[in-house]
Amino acid sequence: MLAPLQTGAARFSSYLLSRARKVLGSHLFSPCGVPEFCSISTRKLAAHGFGASMAAMVPFPPQRYHYFLVLDFEATCDKPQIHPQEIIEFPILKLNGRTMEIESTFHMYVQPVVHPQLTPFCTELTGIIQAMVDGQPSLQQVLERVDEWMAKEGLLDPNVKSIFVTCGDWDLKVMLPGQCQYLGLPVADYFKQWINLKKAYSFAMGCWPKNGLLDMNKGLSLQHIGRPHSGIDDCKNIANIMKTLAYQGFIFKQTSKPF
C-alpha cells in the first residue's frame, strides 16, 4: 500500500499548491523584499483555510546568494566589561540559499590568551565553562581552520556567491577586526561584508527587534531553539528566522557598508 499512499500524498500536495497559487494569484510571483508582500500572502492564505505548514509548499523567490554563512561569536566578558574581549566560541552554519536548509557546520571553541580565566559572569551568560576553552586552538589557528573549511565547502570559488549573516553588526564590525588588530592578524576579505539580521527583519516586518532573537522569534511565532547566548544555538535561531522570512518572500541583501 506504500506506493498508492505516496501517490495520493503527492496528488494532495499538488492540489494544495494549486489552490495556494489561485489564492495568491499574481502576488505569488511579485517582486519581494517588502513587508506588504508578506502580510498580503499570509492573510490571503489564512482566509482560505491554509495553515502555517503551507509555507513549506509555496515556492519562494530565489535569493541573491548561493549560500548564507550564519555566524554568532561568544566572547570573554564581565561586569564591568574586560578589555580586550576575546572570542571563545566560533560557530558557522552554511545555509543553502535555494532551500534555506543547513548543509554544513563549523564549530570550535577558542583559547583566550589575554584573560585566560573565564569569569563567573561569562560562564553564567554563555554556558561556556573553563574546561571547554582550556587547551583549545588560538584565534589564529581557528581562523586558519575556517579558511580550510571554506575551501572544502567550495565557498572560495569565485563563481559561488556567499555572505555572512549575524544578529547585529558587533561580530564582524567590532569583535573580530578588533581582536585581529590587537593580535596583529589579517582579516580575510570574506569577513568584510555581511547581513545584519536585525536590519533584514526590520525591512521585512516593519519594526525593529529591540531584544534581538527573542523579539524576532516572537514576531514570527517561532519557538526559541536551545540556550540564549550559546553561539551555536543562536546560529540555529538565526537560520530558522531567515528560513521563515524567505518563505514569506523576503530577499536578503547585504547591509554592511564597504570597509
Give the pLDDT of the chain (259 residues) as one tens digit per residue. 434 434 444 454 444 444 444 444 434 333 333 333 444 444 444 444 444 444 445 567 899 999 999 999 999 999 999 999 999 999 999 999 999 999 999 999 999 999 999 999 999 999 999 999 999 999 999 999 999 999 999 999 999 999 999 999 999 999 999 999 999 999 999 999 999 999 999 999 999 999 999 999 999 999 999 999 999 999 999 999 999 999 999 999 999 997 6
Residue 203 lies in a domain: yes
The cell numbers describing 153, all together, are 565547502
- At 173, the amino acid letter reads K
Q: Write out the residue range of the structural domain in which residue 207 sits.
A: 66-246
Catalytic residue set: 74, 229
Q: How many domains is the chain partitioned into structurally?
A: 1
Task: For residues 211 and 232, give the distance between their C-alpha atoms in angstroms, rounded to a whole number.
Answer: 18
Residue 123 lies in a domain: yes
How far, rounded to the nearest angstrom, does the alpha carbon of residue 66 sit from its chain's CA centroid?
Answer: 14
Domain contains 238 = yes
The pTM assigned to this predicted structure is: 0.79
Classify residue 19: in a domain, yes or no.
no
Phi then psi for residue 166, to 5 deg, are -130, 160
The CATH number linked to 156 is 3.30.420.10
